[in-house]
Chain A
Amino acid sequence: MGNSISLAGYTFVVEETKEVSGEDLGLLQEKLLQLNWGVQHPASGPMRLKVWVDGDEVVKVDPDIGYVLRLLEKLVEYRTWQNAIVNVERACFIDNFGTMTGYSIAAEKIAGVEVPKKADYVRTILCEGGRIVSHLIGLGGFIGVLGVHTPMQWALIAREKFLDAFEVYSGQRIATASIVPGGVRYEPTGKFIEKMISAVDFLEKEFIPRYTEVFIDNPTLKLRSQGIGVVPKEKAVELGLAGPALRASGVASDVRKDYPYTAYGELDFRVVTKEEGDAYARYLVIWEELIESAKIIRQAIEGLPEGEWRTKFPIKVPPGEAYVNVEWARGCFGFHLISDGGTGPYRLKMRAPSFANLWAMPEMMKNVKLADVPVIFASLYMCHGDIDR
Protein backbone atom coordinates (compact mmCIF):
# COMPACT_ATOMS: atom_id res chain seq x y z
CA MET A 1 0.00 0.00 0.00
CA GLY A 2 2.67 2.43 0.98
CA ASN A 3 4.45 1.82 -2.26
CA SER A 4 1.43 2.71 -4.32
CA ILE A 5 1.02 5.95 -2.44
CA SER A 6 4.60 6.98 -3.06
CA LEU A 7 4.31 5.90 -6.68
CA ALA A 8 1.39 8.25 -7.07
CA GLY A 9 3.63 11.05 -5.91
CA TYR A 10 2.42 11.37 -2.34
CA THR A 11 5.43 12.07 -0.24
CA PHE A 12 3.39 12.95 2.80
CA VAL A 13 3.43 9.36 3.98
CA VAL A 14 6.84 9.88 5.42
CA GLU A 15 5.86 13.06 7.19
CA GLU A 16 2.52 11.81 8.36
CA THR A 17 3.79 8.57 9.71
CA LYS A 18 6.39 10.43 11.67
CA GLU A 19 3.65 12.60 13.04
CA VAL A 20 1.37 9.72 13.93
CA SER A 21 4.11 7.83 15.75
CA GLY A 22 7.82 7.99 15.33
CA GLU A 23 8.19 4.36 14.28
CA ASP A 24 10.24 2.83 11.49
CA LEU A 25 9.02 3.84 8.04
CA GLY A 26 9.04 0.39 6.51
CA LEU A 27 6.82 -1.03 9.16
CA LEU A 28 4.47 1.92 9.00
CA GLN A 29 3.96 1.69 5.29
CA GLU A 30 2.50 -1.71 5.76
CA LYS A 31 0.27 -0.42 8.48
CA LEU A 32 -1.25 2.32 6.34
CA LEU A 33 -4.33 1.38 4.44
CA GLN A 34 -6.05 3.44 1.80
CA LEU A 35 -9.83 3.38 1.89
CA ASN A 36 -12.08 4.78 -0.76
CA TRP A 37 -15.05 6.51 0.77
CA GLY A 38 -17.39 7.13 -2.14
CA VAL A 39 -18.10 7.65 -5.08
CA GLN A 40 -21.15 5.54 -4.44
CA HIS A 41 -21.22 5.97 -0.69
CA PRO A 42 -24.69 7.03 0.43
CA ALA A 43 -23.33 9.79 2.64
CA SER A 44 -20.63 11.17 0.41
CA GLY A 45 -22.69 11.71 -2.69
CA PRO A 46 -20.88 11.99 -6.01
CA MET A 47 -17.48 12.53 -4.43
CA ARG A 48 -14.64 10.32 -3.38
CA LEU A 49 -12.60 10.67 -0.23
CA LYS A 50 -9.29 8.91 -0.15
CA VAL A 51 -8.84 8.03 3.48
CA TRP A 52 -5.55 6.65 4.74
CA VAL A 53 -5.98 4.88 8.02
CA ASP A 54 -3.57 3.52 10.53
CA GLY A 55 -5.66 0.95 12.30
CA ASP A 56 -8.73 2.89 13.30
CA GLU A 57 -7.06 6.27 13.14
CA VAL A 58 -7.28 8.52 10.12
CA VAL A 59 -3.88 9.70 8.95
CA LYS A 60 -4.80 11.72 5.93
CA VAL A 61 -7.88 12.54 3.93
CA ASP A 62 -7.74 13.64 0.35
CA PRO A 63 -10.99 14.67 -1.34
CA ASP A 64 -11.26 13.71 -4.98
CA ILE A 65 -13.83 15.94 -6.62
CA GLY A 66 -15.05 16.63 -10.12
CA TYR A 67 -17.71 14.02 -10.59
CA VAL A 68 -20.47 16.56 -11.10
CA LEU A 69 -18.45 19.19 -12.94
CA ARG A 70 -20.78 20.96 -15.38
CA LEU A 71 -18.69 24.00 -16.31
CA LEU A 72 -21.42 26.32 -15.13
CA GLU A 73 -19.16 29.36 -15.08
CA LYS A 74 -18.17 28.80 -18.68
CA LEU A 75 -21.71 28.06 -19.80
CA VAL A 76 -22.90 31.39 -18.43
CA GLU A 77 -20.71 33.11 -21.01
CA TYR A 78 -22.87 31.68 -23.78
CA ARG A 79 -26.12 32.98 -22.28
CA THR A 80 -27.98 36.24 -22.37
CA TRP A 81 -28.38 38.29 -19.19
CA GLN A 82 -31.82 36.85 -18.59
CA ASN A 83 -31.40 33.20 -19.31
CA ALA A 84 -28.06 32.80 -17.55
CA ILE A 85 -30.12 32.15 -14.42
CA VAL A 86 -30.74 28.59 -15.51
CA ASN A 87 -27.04 27.87 -15.21
CA VAL A 88 -26.58 29.85 -12.03
CA GLU A 89 -29.42 28.14 -10.24
CA ARG A 90 -27.96 24.76 -11.02
CA ALA A 91 -24.95 25.43 -8.81
CA CYS A 92 -27.08 23.61 -6.28
CA PHE A 93 -30.67 22.83 -6.95
CA ILE A 94 -31.67 22.53 -3.31
CA ASP A 95 -31.46 26.24 -2.54
CA ASN A 96 -31.59 27.67 -6.05
CA PHE A 97 -33.05 31.04 -5.04
CA GLY A 98 -29.96 32.26 -3.23
CA THR A 99 -27.68 31.87 -6.22
CA MET A 100 -30.16 33.43 -8.62
CA THR A 101 -30.58 36.38 -6.27
CA GLY A 102 -26.83 36.93 -6.07
CA TYR A 103 -26.38 36.82 -9.81
CA SER A 104 -29.35 39.11 -10.39
CA ILE A 105 -28.11 41.69 -7.89
CA ALA A 106 -24.70 41.67 -9.57
CA ALA A 107 -26.24 42.15 -13.01
CA GLU A 108 -28.47 44.95 -11.71
CA LYS A 109 -25.47 46.67 -10.16
CA ILE A 110 -23.65 46.75 -13.48
CA ALA A 111 -26.70 47.87 -15.41
CA GLY A 112 -27.75 50.39 -12.76
CA VAL A 113 -31.26 49.00 -12.54
CA GLU A 114 -33.35 49.64 -9.47
CA VAL A 115 -35.55 46.72 -8.45
CA PRO A 116 -39.08 47.36 -7.18
CA LYS A 117 -39.66 46.88 -3.49
CA LYS A 118 -42.10 44.08 -4.01
CA ALA A 119 -39.51 42.08 -5.93
CA ASP A 120 -37.10 42.50 -3.01
CA TYR A 121 -39.64 41.08 -0.61
CA VAL A 122 -40.56 38.20 -2.87
CA ARG A 123 -36.88 37.40 -3.25
CA THR A 124 -36.52 37.38 0.51
CA ILE A 125 -39.45 35.03 0.93
CA LEU A 126 -38.12 32.69 -1.74
CA CYS A 127 -34.54 32.77 -0.43
CA GLU A 128 -35.69 31.89 3.07
CA GLY A 129 -37.92 29.18 1.66
CA GLY A 130 -34.89 27.80 -0.13
CA ARG A 131 -32.84 28.00 3.05
CA ILE A 132 -35.46 26.06 4.98
CA VAL A 133 -35.66 23.41 2.28
CA SER A 134 -31.89 23.07 2.26
CA HIS A 135 -31.53 23.03 6.05
CA LEU A 136 -34.19 20.35 6.33
CA ILE A 137 -32.18 18.09 4.07
CA GLY A 138 -29.03 19.01 5.99
CA LEU A 139 -30.58 18.00 9.28
CA GLY A 140 -31.99 14.79 7.91
CA GLY A 141 -28.73 13.99 6.18
CA PHE A 142 -26.68 14.58 9.31
CA ILE A 143 -28.62 12.03 11.33
CA GLY A 144 -28.88 9.86 8.24
CA VAL A 145 -25.13 9.28 8.18
CA LEU A 146 -25.32 8.19 11.79
CA GLY A 147 -27.64 5.43 10.69
CA VAL A 148 -31.11 6.73 11.57
CA HIS A 149 -33.26 7.50 8.57
CA THR A 150 -36.50 8.58 10.22
CA PRO A 151 -35.59 12.27 10.54
CA MET A 152 -34.82 12.41 6.83
CA GLN A 153 -38.33 11.20 6.07
CA TRP A 154 -39.82 13.73 8.46
CA ALA A 155 -37.74 16.47 6.93
CA LEU A 156 -38.82 15.48 3.44
CA ILE A 157 -42.48 15.65 4.47
CA ALA A 158 -41.97 19.21 5.70
CA ARG A 159 -39.93 20.05 2.61
CA GLU A 160 -42.73 18.86 0.37
CA LYS A 161 -45.01 21.65 1.60
CA PHE A 162 -42.46 24.25 0.59
CA LEU A 163 -41.96 22.65 -2.79
CA ASP A 164 -45.71 22.86 -3.29
CA ALA A 165 -45.52 26.57 -2.60
CA PHE A 166 -42.66 26.97 -5.09
CA GLU A 167 -44.67 25.09 -7.67
CA VAL A 168 -47.64 27.37 -7.25
CA TYR A 169 -45.34 30.34 -7.57
CA SER A 170 -43.16 29.39 -10.50
CA GLY A 171 -44.59 26.25 -12.05
CA GLN A 172 -41.70 24.00 -11.09
CA ARG A 173 -40.74 22.44 -7.83
CA ILE A 174 -36.96 22.37 -7.91
CA ALA A 175 -35.39 24.22 -10.82
CA THR A 176 -37.67 27.19 -10.51
CA ALA A 177 -35.81 29.76 -12.68
CA SER A 178 -37.91 32.40 -10.98
CA ILE A 179 -35.54 35.24 -10.08
CA VAL A 180 -34.15 37.25 -13.00
CA PRO A 181 -32.17 40.46 -13.28
CA GLY A 182 -34.80 43.17 -12.93
CA GLY A 183 -37.02 41.50 -10.36
CA VAL A 184 -38.87 38.24 -10.10
CA ARG A 185 -40.57 36.50 -12.97
CA TYR A 186 -44.00 35.88 -11.55
CA GLU A 187 -46.50 37.76 -9.49
CA PRO A 188 -46.74 36.52 -5.90
CA THR A 189 -50.38 35.54 -6.04
CA GLY A 190 -52.63 35.07 -3.04
CA LYS A 191 -52.51 31.37 -3.55
CA PHE A 192 -48.72 31.32 -3.31
CA ILE A 193 -48.77 33.34 -0.10
CA GLU A 194 -51.42 31.01 1.27
CA LYS A 195 -49.35 27.94 0.44
CA MET A 196 -46.22 29.48 1.90
CA ILE A 197 -48.01 30.32 5.15
CA SER A 198 -49.45 26.83 5.39
CA ALA A 199 -45.99 25.39 4.80
CA VAL A 200 -44.51 27.57 7.54
CA ASP A 201 -47.40 26.62 9.79
CA PHE A 202 -46.72 22.97 9.24
CA LEU A 203 -43.05 23.51 9.96
CA GLU A 204 -43.63 25.45 13.14
CA LYS A 205 -46.58 23.55 14.53
CA GLU A 206 -45.90 19.99 13.46
CA PHE A 207 -42.33 19.45 12.44
CA ILE A 208 -40.42 21.54 14.93
CA PRO A 209 -42.09 20.28 18.14
CA ARG A 210 -41.93 16.68 17.02
CA TYR A 211 -38.33 16.94 15.90
CA THR A 212 -37.25 18.81 19.04
CA GLU A 213 -38.70 16.09 21.17
CA VAL A 214 -36.67 13.32 19.61
CA PHE A 215 -33.61 14.54 17.75
CA ILE A 216 -32.48 17.66 19.57
CA ASP A 217 -30.79 17.15 22.91
CA ASN A 218 -30.74 13.46 22.13
CA PRO A 219 -28.18 11.70 24.38
CA THR A 220 -27.08 9.20 21.74
CA LEU A 221 -26.66 11.92 19.16
CA LYS A 222 -24.65 14.01 21.62
CA LEU A 223 -22.45 11.07 22.47
CA ARG A 224 -21.74 10.61 18.81
CA SER A 225 -21.16 14.21 17.76
CA GLN A 226 -20.05 16.28 20.73
CA GLY A 227 -16.38 17.10 20.81
CA ILE A 228 -15.81 15.76 17.32
CA GLY A 229 -14.25 17.84 14.56
CA VAL A 230 -13.69 20.77 16.89
CA VAL A 231 -12.62 23.99 15.18
CA PRO A 232 -11.70 26.89 17.47
CA LYS A 233 -12.65 30.42 16.49
CA GLU A 234 -9.22 31.50 15.18
CA LYS A 235 -8.76 28.28 13.28
CA ALA A 236 -12.17 28.63 11.63
CA VAL A 237 -11.26 32.06 10.32
CA GLU A 238 -7.86 30.84 9.20
CA LEU A 239 -9.32 27.87 7.33
CA GLY A 240 -11.90 30.10 5.69
CA LEU A 241 -14.95 28.17 6.79
CA ALA A 242 -18.28 29.46 5.63
CA GLY A 243 -21.89 29.48 6.69
CA PRO A 244 -23.23 27.44 9.59
CA ALA A 245 -19.84 25.82 10.11
CA LEU A 246 -18.25 29.23 10.71
CA ARG A 247 -21.04 30.42 12.97
CA ALA A 248 -20.80 27.24 15.04
CA SER A 249 -17.25 28.27 15.93
CA GLY A 250 -18.46 31.53 17.41
CA VAL A 251 -17.91 33.90 14.49
CA ALA A 252 -21.07 35.93 13.96
CA SER A 253 -20.64 36.34 10.24
CA ASP A 254 -23.81 36.59 8.23
CA VAL A 255 -24.06 38.55 4.99
CA ARG A 256 -27.74 39.12 5.63
CA LYS A 257 -26.86 41.12 8.73
CA ASP A 258 -23.47 42.53 7.78
CA TYR A 259 -24.25 43.75 4.27
CA PRO A 260 -28.04 43.56 3.96
CA TYR A 261 -29.36 42.85 0.50
CA THR A 262 -32.95 42.54 -0.79
CA ALA A 263 -35.27 43.17 2.17
CA TYR A 264 -33.14 41.78 4.97
CA GLY A 265 -32.25 45.23 6.24
CA GLU A 266 -35.87 45.86 7.17
CA LEU A 267 -36.54 42.56 8.87
CA ASP A 268 -35.80 41.52 12.40
CA PHE A 269 -33.83 38.34 12.90
CA ARG A 270 -30.82 37.16 14.83
CA VAL A 271 -27.60 35.52 13.76
CA VAL A 272 -27.30 32.09 15.33
CA THR A 273 -23.88 31.35 16.80
CA LYS A 274 -22.46 28.63 19.00
CA GLU A 275 -19.19 28.59 20.87
CA GLU A 276 -18.27 24.91 20.88
CA GLY A 277 -17.29 24.52 17.24
CA ASP A 278 -17.89 20.78 17.14
CA ALA A 279 -20.18 18.70 14.94
CA TYR A 280 -23.07 18.96 17.36
CA ALA A 281 -22.79 22.76 17.45
CA ARG A 282 -22.92 22.89 13.66
CA TYR A 283 -26.02 20.72 13.72
CA LEU A 284 -27.67 23.03 16.25
CA VAL A 285 -26.81 26.11 14.21
CA ILE A 286 -28.59 24.63 11.21
CA TRP A 287 -31.52 23.77 13.42
CA GLU A 288 -31.89 27.22 14.95
CA GLU A 289 -31.45 28.95 11.61
CA LEU A 290 -34.38 26.93 10.36
CA ILE A 291 -36.54 28.40 13.11
CA GLU A 292 -35.23 31.92 12.36
CA SER A 293 -35.98 31.53 8.66
CA ALA A 294 -39.59 30.63 9.37
CA LYS A 295 -39.90 33.87 11.33
CA ILE A 296 -38.31 35.87 8.51
CA ILE A 297 -40.82 34.46 6.04
CA ARG A 298 -43.72 35.50 8.26
CA GLN A 299 -42.33 39.02 8.59
CA ALA A 300 -41.68 39.36 4.87
CA ILE A 301 -45.19 38.18 4.02
CA GLU A 302 -46.66 40.69 6.45
CA GLY A 303 -44.59 43.51 5.02
CA LEU A 304 -45.15 42.60 1.37
CA PRO A 305 -45.71 45.92 -0.40
CA GLU A 306 -47.95 46.59 -3.36
CA GLY A 307 -46.71 47.42 -6.79
CA GLU A 308 -44.72 46.01 -9.65
CA TRP A 309 -42.59 42.92 -9.29
CA ARG A 310 -40.42 43.26 -12.35
CA THR A 311 -38.78 46.12 -14.19
CA LYS A 312 -37.31 46.21 -17.62
CA PHE A 313 -33.77 44.96 -17.80
CA PRO A 314 -31.75 46.18 -20.78
CA ILE A 315 -30.73 43.66 -23.43
CA LYS A 316 -27.26 45.15 -23.63
CA VAL A 317 -25.54 46.05 -20.41
CA PRO A 318 -22.73 48.66 -20.31
CA PRO A 319 -19.21 47.42 -19.57
CA GLY A 320 -18.37 47.05 -15.91
CA GLU A 321 -17.99 44.60 -13.13
CA ALA A 322 -19.56 43.84 -9.79
CA TYR A 323 -18.88 41.60 -6.84
CA VAL A 324 -21.85 40.55 -4.78
CA ASN A 325 -22.05 38.34 -1.73
CA VAL A 326 -25.21 36.64 -0.64
CA GLU A 327 -25.86 34.48 2.37
CA TRP A 328 -26.79 31.25 0.76
CA ALA A 329 -28.10 28.29 2.77
CA ARG A 330 -24.60 26.84 3.03
CA GLY A 331 -22.74 30.06 3.55
CA CYS A 332 -21.50 33.15 1.83
CA PHE A 333 -21.76 32.80 -1.95
CA GLY A 334 -19.78 35.32 -3.98
CA PHE A 335 -20.46 36.38 -7.56
CA HIS A 336 -17.89 38.27 -9.59
CA LEU A 337 -19.66 39.30 -12.76
CA ILE A 338 -18.03 41.11 -15.65
CA SER A 339 -19.77 42.73 -18.59
CA ASP A 340 -18.06 43.81 -21.78
CA GLY A 341 -21.11 45.61 -23.10
CA GLY A 342 -22.59 42.59 -24.83
CA THR A 343 -25.92 40.83 -24.59
CA GLY A 344 -24.62 38.39 -21.99
CA PRO A 345 -22.09 38.07 -19.18
CA TYR A 346 -18.46 38.17 -20.25
CA ARG A 347 -17.32 36.20 -17.24
CA LEU A 348 -18.85 34.96 -14.04
CA LYS A 349 -16.77 33.66 -11.16
CA MET A 350 -18.60 31.97 -8.36
CA ARG A 351 -17.09 31.64 -4.94
CA ALA A 352 -18.81 28.69 -3.37
CA PRO A 353 -18.98 28.10 0.39
CA SER A 354 -18.97 24.32 0.17
CA PHE A 355 -15.70 24.43 -1.70
CA ALA A 356 -14.15 26.44 1.13
CA ASN A 357 -15.50 24.03 3.71
CA LEU A 358 -14.29 21.04 1.77
CA TRP A 359 -10.65 22.09 1.91
CA ALA A 360 -10.91 22.71 5.61
CA MET A 361 -12.07 19.17 6.08
CA PRO A 362 -8.72 17.30 5.72
CA GLU A 363 -7.38 19.55 8.45
CA MET A 364 -10.24 18.67 10.73
CA MET A 365 -10.06 14.97 10.02
CA LYS A 366 -6.50 14.47 11.16
CA ASN A 367 -6.18 11.87 13.87
CA VAL A 368 -9.86 11.18 14.28
CA LYS A 369 -11.44 7.78 14.38
CA LEU A 370 -12.58 6.33 11.07
CA ALA A 371 -16.19 6.24 12.28
CA ASP A 372 -16.09 10.00 12.79
CA VAL A 373 -15.33 10.73 9.15
CA PRO A 374 -19.00 10.66 8.08
CA VAL A 375 -20.05 12.73 11.08
CA ILE A 376 -17.58 15.50 10.33
CA PHE A 377 -18.35 15.31 6.64
CA ALA A 378 -22.09 15.67 7.16
CA SER A 379 -21.75 18.35 9.82
CA LEU A 380 -19.84 20.59 7.41
CA TYR A 381 -23.06 20.71 5.40
CA MET A 382 -21.64 20.66 1.89
CA CYS A 383 -23.28 20.32 -1.46
CA HIS A 384 -21.46 18.61 -4.29
CA GLY A 385 -23.16 20.75 -6.86
CA ASP A 386 -21.39 23.86 -5.76
CA ILE A 387 -18.10 22.16 -4.92
CA ASP A 388 -17.69 21.21 -8.56
CA ARG A 389 -19.87 23.75 -10.39
Chain B
Amino acid sequence: MEAKDALKIPFEATKKVIRVTKALFAPKATEIWWDKGIKRELHYRGKHIINAELCIGCGMCSRACPVNCIDMVPTGVKKPRAVPKVRANECMFCGLCEDACPTKPEKAIKLTDHYSMILEDVTWDKLTEYVFEPENLEEALEKAKKMEELLEKKKQEALKKKQQAQQAKAKAEAKKEQPSLEKGKEEKPQQGDNSQKGSKGEE
Protein backbone atom coordinates (compact mmCIF):
# COMPACT_ATOMS: atom_id res chain seq x y z
CA MET B 1 0.00 0.00 0.00
CA GLU B 2 2.71 2.42 1.01
CA ALA B 3 4.73 1.90 -2.15
CA LYS B 4 1.60 2.46 -4.19
CA ASP B 5 0.78 5.63 -2.33
CA ALA B 6 4.32 6.88 -2.76
CA LEU B 7 4.05 6.29 -6.48
CA LYS B 8 0.81 8.22 -6.58
CA ILE B 9 2.21 11.33 -4.94
CA PRO B 10 4.09 12.85 -7.91
CA PHE B 11 1.17 12.10 -10.18
CA GLU B 12 -1.32 13.80 -7.87
CA ALA B 13 1.03 16.70 -7.33
CA THR B 14 1.44 17.30 -11.05
CA LYS B 15 -2.30 17.17 -11.47
CA LYS B 16 -2.77 19.80 -8.82
CA VAL B 17 -0.02 22.02 -10.23
CA ILE B 18 -1.60 21.86 -13.67
CA ARG B 19 -5.00 22.72 -12.26
CA VAL B 20 -3.70 25.70 -10.33
CA THR B 21 -1.71 27.04 -13.30
CA LYS B 22 -4.76 26.70 -15.50
CA ALA B 23 -6.83 28.60 -13.00
CA LEU B 24 -4.19 31.31 -12.75
CA PHE B 25 -4.26 32.03 -16.45
CA ALA B 26 -7.94 31.57 -16.98
CA PRO B 27 -9.49 34.91 -17.94
CA LYS B 28 -12.36 34.94 -15.47
CA ALA B 29 -13.66 33.06 -12.53
CA THR B 30 -17.23 32.97 -13.74
CA GLU B 31 -17.97 31.19 -16.94
CA ILE B 32 -20.77 31.89 -19.32
CA TRP B 33 -22.68 28.67 -19.41
CA TRP B 34 -25.71 29.16 -21.56
CA ASP B 35 -24.01 29.10 -24.92
CA LYS B 36 -22.24 25.85 -24.27
CA GLY B 37 -25.06 23.71 -25.53
CA ILE B 38 -25.20 21.52 -22.47
CA LYS B 39 -27.40 18.50 -23.01
CA ARG B 40 -29.64 17.59 -20.13
CA GLU B 41 -30.32 13.96 -19.48
CA LEU B 42 -33.28 12.08 -20.95
CA HIS B 43 -36.45 14.03 -20.41
CA TYR B 44 -35.41 17.31 -18.94
CA ARG B 45 -38.43 19.50 -18.39
CA GLY B 46 -37.62 22.74 -20.16
CA LYS B 47 -39.14 24.94 -22.80
CA HIS B 48 -42.32 23.70 -24.48
CA ILE B 49 -42.61 22.76 -28.12
CA ILE B 50 -46.13 22.85 -29.47
CA ASN B 51 -46.76 21.12 -32.74
CA ALA B 52 -49.83 22.66 -34.30
CA GLU B 53 -49.98 20.01 -37.02
CA LEU B 54 -50.48 17.27 -34.49
CA CYS B 55 -52.69 19.23 -32.13
CA ILE B 56 -56.36 18.40 -32.31
CA GLY B 57 -57.40 21.34 -30.17
CA CYS B 58 -58.98 19.26 -27.44
CA GLY B 59 -57.83 21.52 -24.61
CA MET B 60 -56.82 18.67 -22.31
CA CYS B 61 -53.46 20.31 -21.65
CA SER B 62 -55.15 23.50 -20.57
CA ARG B 63 -57.35 21.59 -18.15
CA ALA B 64 -54.48 19.56 -16.75
CA CYS B 65 -52.28 22.55 -15.98
CA PRO B 66 -52.19 23.15 -12.22
CA VAL B 67 -51.53 26.87 -12.55
CA ASN B 68 -53.85 27.51 -15.48
CA CYS B 69 -51.15 29.05 -17.58
CA ILE B 70 -52.23 27.54 -20.90
CA ASP B 71 -54.58 29.64 -22.99
CA MET B 72 -56.41 28.09 -25.91
CA VAL B 73 -56.09 30.51 -28.82
CA PRO B 74 -58.81 30.14 -31.45
CA THR B 75 -57.38 29.52 -34.89
CA GLY B 76 -60.35 30.13 -37.17
CA VAL B 77 -60.20 26.71 -38.75
CA LYS B 78 -62.17 23.70 -37.70
CA LYS B 79 -59.34 21.37 -36.82
CA PRO B 80 -57.61 22.35 -34.61
CA ARG B 81 -60.24 24.75 -33.41
CA ALA B 82 -57.80 26.25 -30.94
CA VAL B 83 -54.12 25.78 -30.14
CA PRO B 84 -52.44 26.11 -26.76
CA LYS B 85 -50.32 29.10 -25.81
CA VAL B 86 -48.21 28.76 -22.66
CA ARG B 87 -47.61 31.80 -20.51
CA ALA B 88 -44.02 30.95 -19.70
CA ASN B 89 -43.78 33.38 -16.83
CA GLU B 90 -46.32 31.42 -14.82
CA CYS B 91 -45.39 27.94 -15.94
CA MET B 92 -43.57 25.81 -13.42
CA PHE B 93 -42.46 23.09 -15.84
CA CYS B 94 -44.24 20.25 -14.17
CA GLY B 95 -44.90 18.47 -17.45
CA LEU B 96 -48.48 17.52 -16.62
CA CYS B 97 -49.70 19.10 -19.86
CA GLU B 98 -47.51 16.69 -21.78
CA ASP B 99 -48.97 13.77 -19.82
CA ALA B 100 -52.51 14.85 -20.60
CA CYS B 101 -52.11 15.34 -24.35
CA PRO B 102 -53.94 12.52 -26.13
CA THR B 103 -52.19 12.58 -29.52
CA LYS B 104 -50.31 9.41 -30.40
CA PRO B 105 -47.56 8.41 -30.91
CA GLU B 106 -46.06 11.86 -30.60
CA LYS B 107 -47.45 14.41 -28.18
CA ALA B 108 -48.51 17.70 -29.65
CA ILE B 109 -47.18 19.57 -26.63
CA LYS B 110 -43.80 18.54 -25.36
CA LEU B 111 -41.24 19.77 -22.87
CA THR B 112 -37.78 19.85 -24.37
CA ASP B 113 -34.33 20.00 -22.88
CA HIS B 114 -34.01 23.59 -23.98
CA TYR B 115 -33.56 25.45 -20.72
CA SER B 116 -32.00 28.82 -21.48
CA MET B 117 -34.83 31.31 -21.41
CA ILE B 118 -33.09 34.60 -21.23
CA LEU B 119 -34.83 37.92 -21.48
CA GLU B 120 -32.98 41.19 -21.55
CA ASP B 121 -34.21 44.37 -19.90
CA VAL B 122 -36.76 42.43 -18.02
CA THR B 123 -39.85 44.36 -17.12
CA TRP B 124 -43.15 43.00 -15.99
CA ASP B 125 -44.69 43.65 -19.40
CA LYS B 126 -41.96 41.72 -21.14
CA LEU B 127 -42.36 38.85 -18.75
CA THR B 128 -46.08 38.64 -19.35
CA GLU B 129 -45.48 38.77 -23.09
CA TYR B 130 -43.08 35.86 -22.91
CA VAL B 131 -45.08 32.94 -24.22
CA PHE B 132 -44.49 29.62 -25.91
CA GLU B 133 -46.53 29.46 -29.06
CA PRO B 134 -46.82 26.77 -31.68
CA GLU B 135 -43.91 27.23 -34.06
CA ASN B 136 -45.43 25.89 -37.25
CA LEU B 137 -48.83 27.44 -36.74
CA GLU B 138 -49.09 29.11 -40.15
CA GLU B 139 -48.10 26.04 -42.07
CA ALA B 140 -50.44 23.98 -40.03
CA LEU B 141 -53.22 26.44 -40.59
CA GLU B 142 -52.58 26.44 -44.31
CA LYS B 143 -52.63 22.69 -44.30
CA ALA B 144 -55.77 22.68 -42.25
CA LYS B 145 -57.37 25.15 -44.64
CA LYS B 146 -56.38 23.04 -47.63
CA MET B 147 -57.75 20.02 -45.91
CA GLU B 148 -60.91 21.87 -45.22
CA GLU B 149 -61.18 22.99 -48.81
CA LEU B 150 -60.61 19.46 -49.96
CA LEU B 151 -63.21 18.22 -47.57
CA GLU B 152 -65.53 20.93 -48.70
CA LYS B 153 -64.98 19.93 -52.32
CA LYS B 154 -65.55 16.32 -51.51
CA LYS B 155 -68.66 17.21 -49.63
CA GLN B 156 -70.00 19.27 -52.47
CA GLU B 157 -69.17 16.53 -54.92
CA ALA B 158 -70.90 14.08 -52.70
CA LEU B 159 -73.82 16.42 -52.44
CA LYS B 160 -73.93 16.83 -56.20
CA LYS B 161 -73.81 13.10 -56.65
CA LYS B 162 -76.55 12.72 -54.14
CA GLN B 163 -78.66 15.30 -55.84
CA GLN B 164 -78.04 13.67 -59.19
CA ALA B 165 -78.84 10.33 -57.71
CA GLN B 166 -81.98 11.69 -56.20
CA GLN B 167 -82.99 13.23 -59.45
CA ALA B 168 -82.24 9.98 -61.22
CA LYS B 169 -84.18 8.14 -58.57
CA ALA B 170 -87.06 10.49 -58.84
CA LYS B 171 -87.08 10.02 -62.57
CA ALA B 172 -86.84 6.28 -62.25
CA GLU B 173 -89.56 6.23 -59.69
CA ALA B 174 -91.68 8.44 -61.79
CA LYS B 175 -91.15 6.02 -64.65
CA LYS B 176 -91.75 2.98 -62.48
CA GLU B 177 -94.71 4.38 -60.71
CA GLN B 178 -96.70 4.68 -63.86
CA PRO B 179 -96.60 0.98 -64.67
CA SER B 180 -96.93 0.00 -61.04
CA LEU B 181 -100.09 1.97 -60.80
CA GLU B 182 -101.42 0.03 -63.69
CA LYS B 183 -100.31 -3.40 -62.35
CA GLY B 184 -101.61 -3.11 -58.82
CA LYS B 185 -100.67 -3.26 -55.09
CA GLU B 186 -98.55 -6.43 -54.83
CA GLU B 187 -95.37 -5.20 -56.49
CA LYS B 188 -94.95 -2.10 -54.38
CA PRO B 189 -92.58 -3.51 -51.70
CA GLN B 190 -90.19 -4.82 -54.38
CA GLN B 191 -89.93 -1.40 -55.87
CA GLY B 192 -89.04 0.00 -52.49
CA ASP B 193 -86.16 -2.52 -52.18
CA ASN B 194 -84.84 -1.63 -55.59
CA SER B 195 -84.72 2.05 -54.89
CA GLN B 196 -82.86 1.49 -51.61
CA LYS B 197 -80.15 -0.64 -53.25
CA GLY B 198 -79.76 1.90 -55.98
CA SER B 199 -79.21 4.74 -53.55
CA LYS B 200 -76.59 2.75 -51.61
CA GLY B 201 -74.58 2.02 -54.70
CA GLU B 202 -74.50 5.65 -55.69
CA GLU B 203 -73.24 6.79 -52.31
Contact = CB atoms under 8 A, between A and B. Distances in A.
Interface of A: 79-80, 82-84, 86-87, 167-168, 170-172, 175, 177, 185-186, 189, 191
B44 A171 contact: yes
A78 to B, nearest CB: 9
A97 to B, nearest CB: 15
Contact of B96 (A82, A175, A191): A82
B66 interface: yes
9 closest Cβ contacts across the A-B interface?
A171-B45, A83-B66, A177-B94, A86-B66, A168-B41, A171-B43, A171-B44, A83-B96, A86-B94
B57 to A, nearest CB: 19
Contacts of B45: 170-172
Dominant SS among interface residues on chain A: loop
Given A79-B66, A83-B64, A83-B66, A177 B95 contact: yes
Interface in B81-132: 92-96, 99-100, 111
Contacts of A168: 41-42
Contacts of B111: 171
A189 B42 contact: yes
Contacts of B92: 86, 175
B160 interface: no
Contacts of A191: 41-42
B64 A82 contact: yes
Given A83-B96, A171-B45, 14 more contacts: A79-B66, A80-B63, A82-B96, A83-B64, A84-B66, A86-B92, A168-B41, A171-B40, A175-B94, A177-B95, A177-B96, A185-B95, A185-B99, A191-B42
A197 B203 CA distance: 65
B93 to A, nearest CB: 7
Nearest to A315: B63
A171 B65 CA distance: 17
29 contacts: A79-B66, A80-B64, A82-B64, A82-B99, A83-B65, A83-B94, A86-B92, A86-B94, A86-B96, A167-B40, A168-B41, A168-B42, A170-B43, A170-B45, A171-B40, A171-B42, A171-B43, A171-B44, A171-B45, A171-B111, A172-B45, A175-B92, A177-B95, A177-B96, A185-B95, A185-B99, A186-B43, A191-B41, A191-B42
Contacts of A171: 40, 42-45, 95, 111
Contacts of A172: 45, 93
A191 B95 CA distance: 20
A187 to B, nearest CB: 10
Contacts of B42: 168, 171, 189, 191
Given A177-B96, A185-B99, A167 B64 contact: no
A167 B92 CA distance: 15
A341 to B, nearest CB: 18
B66 A87 contact: yes
A191 B111 CA distance: 20
A167 B44 contact: yes
Interface in B27-82: 40-45, 63-66
Interface in B141-169: none
A86 B43 CA distance: 18
Contacts of B65: 83
A189 B64 CA distance: 25
A191 B99 CA distance: 21
A185 B64 CA distance: 14
A191 B41 CA distance: 9
Given A83-B65, A87-B66, A167 B96 contact: no
B131 to A, nearest CB: 21
A167 B40 CA distance: 9
B84 to A, nearest CB: 16
A21 B41 CA distance: 64
A170 B43 CA distance: 7
Contacts of A167: 40-41, 44
A261 B154 CA distance: 59
